Structure 1
Amino acid sequence: MSRPYRIDTHQHIVPPGYAGWMHEKGIRPGGVGLPSWSERSALKFMDRHDVQTGILSLSTPGVYFGNAAEARRRAREVNEYSAKVVAGRPERFGFFATLPLPDVEGALAEARYALDTLLADGIVLLANNDGRYLGDPGFEPLLEFLDHRRAVVFIHPGELPAPAVPGVPAFAADFLLDTTRTALSLILSGAMEKYQGIKFILAHAGGFVPYIASRILLTMLTQKDLALSALAALTDKKQSILRRFYYDVALSASPAALPSLLEVADPGRITFGTDFPFAPSAAIDFLTMQYENYPLEPSLRAAIDRGNSEALFPRLRQSTM
């Protein structure tokens, strides 16, 4: 192919055991049915979209439904299944390990096992866990561990801890707000300053974060410990705390959204993403076409397609050349 193979940092896995469990519970993530997934269907999709490697993760609703022991067991099952897929095709797949949050003790144990034994490429965290956002002080032991490990942490939205709006699917707006809320939670709690070793990837171009960047900085001005940082960012965007996040372009690479993202994000921290298989094929095709037609500098496009992710996942450098 004429252009480099892509690395897709926002690609989901639906293990058969997990799918059966969701069916038993009658759960429809995001208000829609759980999609089917197979290694074969994933590879077919990836070849069609010039994706060399997909970093797999479990999507919402995760594994916690009030029973910590059950959540620990299900997280282990998902992670071991994912690791087996990656072991069979390490050049085509990677994975972010699922944790049983808000059970912090269980999450710490599973993160350690996933990173050390299963060789996970990183961790996936839902933006809110039983209504608690990631800047919650109770999650500090986990953030401290992930910071020590300099882990890549993919943040994916889930159901808002609030009633749904009748007739409005959660994925249409609530998911974007969920990501935005947790980004603000991490910033205003001081976690982004304290745990700079963690490489946070925000799904869907950060939700509303790029669009409301100035409001976020102005909010920081009201926080004694963050005011100086906000003042610096308001005069020089390269000093903005928002540039510490990574952002994928899954379902967000439109002519309306990309300008805001490119204005706010560090160009070295934008990654390619598709949201397969949860996003409809037509939506992925349309937004990928818009991304490909957007007037990006060739060097920036190459960085988004592959280079920025190679920096996050050094093991993929050889396999994507």
Structure 2
Amino acid sequence: MASDRIDVHQHLIPPVYRQALDANGIAAAGGRDLPDWSPQSAREMMAGMGIASAVLSVSTPGTAFLGDRTEAARLARAVNDYSAELAAAAPQTFGFFATLPMPDVTAAAAEAARALDTLGADGVVLLGNARGVYLGEEGQDALFEVLDDRRAVAFVHPADLPGPVIPGVLPFAADFLLDTTRAAYLLVRNGIRERYPNIRFVLSHGGGFVPYASHRMALGIFTQTGRSPLDVLGEFAGFYFDTALSSSAAALPTLLTFAEPGHVLFGSDWPFAPEAAVQYFEAGLAEYPGCDDLTRQAIRRGNASALFPRFGAAPVAAPEPPLLTRLRRRARTRVFRAVAKAANRR
């Protein structure tokens, strides 16, 4: 197995972070027990999976479990300092997305600036919701301005839904997908994607339900705002998407058809996803007949190397032929014009 993959969805659990979770009685996330983690175990997994580089991030709950804003900001700083030291010691192996103390927008903007300007962060990680406040809600412009000015990569990771857990439904298996989708919807619906075009948003786990439900959501935003469904659909397709737990024969056809060329990235979700699960979904990508070798290589490395050039360049999949692109756009235009007319008559 070639060791050239760039993993944009791999987690770390710094000692200071685990201590804070333990002190607050948190032993699980998303319905899964917190796994063991160390830099050495990460390297061993990466060697076995052919992963050359990984952009590490803290998973849910981030700092949102802390009700005191000062404590949350302090923990975010400590986590980012640890991550920066790890990345500096092995810059071709590890990068990191900075943890931000949301929903405190002022503190999050300040920490984003520090992490990106001083610590050398590769981007930031933003939870779909933090203490029930969703990414993309009104009042977050101070943070988006910092990210837009720096052309930052913002990795959107799901959190537990702000509501009771349904007995028998593991949050990571179903609720996480809705959490990501809600955040993506608000980022488009509230004009964040339009006003801050320099932010490269990466939606984890294949974008949740976004590719599958994109046309339905575009119609919803049209009925709310009057914006062209085609423009809305283009903004949804312009997100980046990672393949963590999502490169299956059921998900890949929709994801690869929907996402803009070059916008699908490899993700493992290790260590929250055990290595066997990582292998299972990697096999799904390797065996999917709708992918040629050039596209697979682009997903595994090329597309991510365009976002994170410090890991080294690689060939990117050839763009879609112009004629096919035009035909698809014409088909979408006919469909949405018909849908929009029908909605206006109601």
Alignment partner of 1:47 is 2:63: no
**Counterpart residue type for residue 23 of structure 1:** D
Q: TM-score w.r.t. structure 2 length?
A: 0.87
Deviation at 1:69, TM superposition (A): 0.4
Instruction: Determine if contact 1:83/1:118 at 8 Å carries over to the other structure.
Output: yes
User: What is residue 334 of structure 2 aligned with on the other side?
Assistant: none
Which moves more between the two structures, 29-38 or 252-261?
A: 29-38
Deviation at 1:225, TM superposition (A): 4.9
**Counterpart residue type for residue 307 of structure 2:** L
Structure 1: distance between partners of 2:56 and 2:168: 30
Alignment partner of 1:207 is 2:208: yes
User: What is residue 300 of structure 1 aligned with on the other side?
Assistant: 295
5+ residue gaps, structure 1, are 234-238
- 3-state SS of paired residue (1:10): strand
Instruction: Determine if contact 2:305/2:313 at 8 Å carries over to the other structure.
Output: no
* Aligned positions of 1:88-167 closer than 5 A: 88-167=89-168
Structure 1: distance between partners of 2:225 and 2:166: 36
User: What is residue 83 of structure 2 aligned with on the other side?
Assistant: 82
User: What is residue 23 of structure 2 aligned with on the other side?
Assistant: 24
* Aligned positions of 1:167-206 closer than 5 A: 167-206=168-207
- 3-state SS of paired residue (1:200): strand
Structure 2: distance between partners of 1:99 and 1:231: 33
User: What is residue 249 of structure 2 aligned with on the other side?
Assistant: 255
Structure 2: distance between partners of 1:318 and 1:264: 25
User: What is residue 270 of structure 1 aligned with on the other side?
Assistant: 264
> What is the percent sequence identity of the aligned residues?
51
Instruction: Determine if contact 1:55/1:94 at 8 Å carries over to the other structure.
Output: yes
Instruction: Determine if contact 2:126/2:155 at 8 Å carries over to the other structure.
Output: yes
Instruction: Determine if contact 2:302/2:313 at 8 Å carries over to the other structure.
Output: no
Q: Following TM superposition, where does structure 1 have runs of at least 4 consecutive aligned residues deviating by more than 2 angstroms? A: none
User: What is residue 339 of structure 2 aligned with on the other side?
Assistant: none
Instruction: Determine if contact 1:13/1:58 at 8 Å carries over to the other structure.
Output: yes
Instruction: Determine if contact 2:301/2:314 at 8 Å carries over to the other structure.
Output: no
Please list the CA deviations of residues 243-266 of structure 1 after superposition, one character each: whole Å capped at 9, or x if unmatched: 210000000000001111011101
Structure 1: distance between partners of 2:154 and 2:89: 23
**Distance 1:23-1:146 versus aligned 2 partners, 3 A rule:** same
Please list the CA deviations of residues 258-286 of structure 1 after superposition, one character each: whole Å capped at 9, or x if unmatched: 11101110121110000000012221121
Structure 2: distance between partners of 1:97 and 1:168: 30
User: What is residue 222 of structure 1 aligned with on the other side?
Assistant: 223
Structure 2: distance between partners of 1:194 and 1:108: 17
Structure 2: distance between partners of 1:21 and 1:74: 8
Alignment partner of 1:291 is 2:285: yes
Instruction: Determine if contact 1:12/1:57 at 8 Å carries over to the other structure.
Output: yes
Instruction: Determine if contact 1:95/1:121 at 8 Å carries over to the other structure.
Output: yes
Instruction: Flag the structure with larger Rg.
Output: 2
**Counterpart residue type for residue 144 of structure 1:** E
Structure 2: distance between partners of 1:188 and 1:318: 34
Please list the CA deviations of residues 87-127 of structure 1 after superposition, one character each: whole Å capped at 9, or x if unmatched: 11100010000000111111111111101110000000001
**Distance 1:232-1:187 versus aligned 2 partners, 3 A rule:** closer
Aligned length: 312
Structure 1: distance between partners of 2:109 and 2:211: 31
Q: Which has the higher contact order (CA 8 A, sep 6+)?
A: 1
- 3-state SS of paired residue (1:196): coil
**Counterpart residue type for residue 45 of structure 1:** M
Please list the CA deviations of residues 166-198 of structure 1 after superposition, one character each: whole Å capped at 9, or x if unmatched: 121110101000000000011111111111110
- 3-state SS of paired residue (1:211): helix
CA RMSD of aligned residues (A): 1.6
Structure 2: distance between partners of 1:206 and 1:306: 19
Please list the CA deviations of residues 45-95 of structure 1 after superposition, one character each: whole Å capped at 9, or x if unmatched: 001111000100000000122110000110011001001111111000100
Structure 2: distance between partners of 1:188 and 1:243: 14
Structure 2: distance between partners of 1:256 and 1:318: 30
Deviation at 1:242, TM superposition (A): 1.4
User: What is residue 236 of structure 1 aligned with on the other side?
Assistant: none
5+ residue gaps, structure 2, are 316-346
Deviation at 1:311, TM superposition (A): 0.7
**Distance 1:259-1:318 versus aligned 2 partners, 3 A rule:** closer
- 3-state SS of paired residue (1:267): coil
Structure 2: distance between partners of 1:122 and 1:224: 31
Instruction: Determine if contact 1:267/1:300 at 8 Å carries over to the other structure.
Output: no
**Counterpart residue type for residue 237 of structure 2:** R
Q: TM-score w.r.t. structure 1 length?
A: 0.94
